[in-house]
Amino acid sequence: MTQDLARIRAFVQVFDAGGFSSAARLHGRSKALLSKYVTDLEDYLGVRLMNRTTRKLSLTEAGEAYYREASQLLQQLDDLDATISDQTAEPRGMIRISGPRNFGETTLAPAIFDFLGKHPMVSLDYRLEDRFVDLVEESIDVAIRISTMSDSSLIARKLGDIRHVIYAAPALVLRVGLPERPDDLRGKPCILDTNMPAHTSWRFIEGAQTISVHVGGPARVNSPVASMQAAIAGLGFAMIPAYLAEPLVAEGKLVRVLNDCMTNGPSLMAVYPHRRHLAGKVRALIDHLVDWFEIHPVI
């Protein structure tokens, strides 16, 4: 088997290099050995793979088909070898991470920097921006997203759940009353976060049913932090991620509304490109994040 792989690899190396002499110099083997390997492979297969002249080397029709499959096979083997070696070694090298700005600054950053502290040979490119990032086009190793998966070309691993709750300033509740049922929000001032799907129709659980309530109000924003600030100012009821608002509940600046009626929110996902073998440093980071959010669940 080893001898067979050596012959296949020699054939691919010779064609990639453009000739026997170039391949010999590039890979530190003798030209005679490479020629013997290619000839042995052709004899074994019973077909000519290469047309050899003093000036030019080209593939036969059979050679083209064999090269296409053989080069992919060798690449997969090389990737597998590198991955196994990577898994057993200390994580090292650059990891490019993308995440949403608000969550990335407040909740994700401690988990990321804890990983960096434990693995001093890892360096970090931590990009926080509120847009859909093309992982392949922008060479991102892993993106942390608050969403449901829709792109089948990506793989995701769940890190936790994100709860959204209705919050309001105590002064607003005194002024307009406390909603006791979801339908009580109709006609009351609400802050609409346009980042949320169906932001004018909030979903609740009432009894055994999921219901939608049409809401409106004095302000539309495209940021959960801005939505929270509007709620603190008493402008309306706002649906805000709990990880942002709960500290302000403890300070008395906000109160929860209809807490027992909230539906399940989106998931916190680690998303990465569909690769046959995941780099060890990236796998180590994702494993760390899974462990971190199990110990430090998102509120």
CATH annotation of 2-88: 1.10.10.10
DSSP-assigned letters across all residues of 172-236: HHHHH---SSGGGGTTSEEEEETTSTTTTEEEEEETTEEEEEE-EEEEEES-HHHHHHHHHTTS-
Question: Of 3.40.47.40, 3.40.190.290, 3.40.50.2030, 3.30.420.40, which CATH number belongs to 164-261?
Answer: 3.40.190.290
Task: From first to last of the 299 residues of the chain, give the pLDDT tens digit.
Answer: 556 888 999 899 888 888 888 888 888 889 899 989 999 999 999 999 998 876 778 899 999 999 989 888 887 787 677 666 666 568 888 999 999 988 999 899 999 999 999 999 999 999 998 788 888 788 889 999 987 656 566 788 999 988 899 999 999 999 999 999 999 999 999 999 998 878 899 999 988 899 999 999 999 999 899 999 999 999 999 999 999 999 999 999 999 999 999 988 888 999 988 765 678 888 899 999 999 999 998 87
Question: Of 3.30.413.10, 3.40.190.10, 3.30.70.20, 3.30.420.10, which CATH number belongs to 93-161+266-295?
Answer: 3.40.190.10
Residues of the chain with CATH 1.10.10.10: 2-88
| pLDDT confidence of residue 85 | 62
| pLDDT confidence of residue 213 | 94
Residues 163 and 144 sit within 8 Å (Cβ to Cβ): no
Residues 169 and 257 sit within 8 Å (Cβ to Cβ): no
pTM: 0.64
Torsion angle of C-alpha atoms 254, 219, 223, 162, degrees rounded to 10: 50
Residue type, position 41, single letter: L
Computed from CA positions of residues 74, 80, 85, 90, in that sequence, does the dihedral angle turn out positive or negative?
positive
Residues of the chain with CATH 3.40.190.10: 93-161+266-295
pLDDT tens for each residue of 279-298: 888 889 999 999 999 999 88
Hunting for tokens 């000519």 — which residue is that?
48
Residues of the chain with CATH 3.40.190.290: 164-261
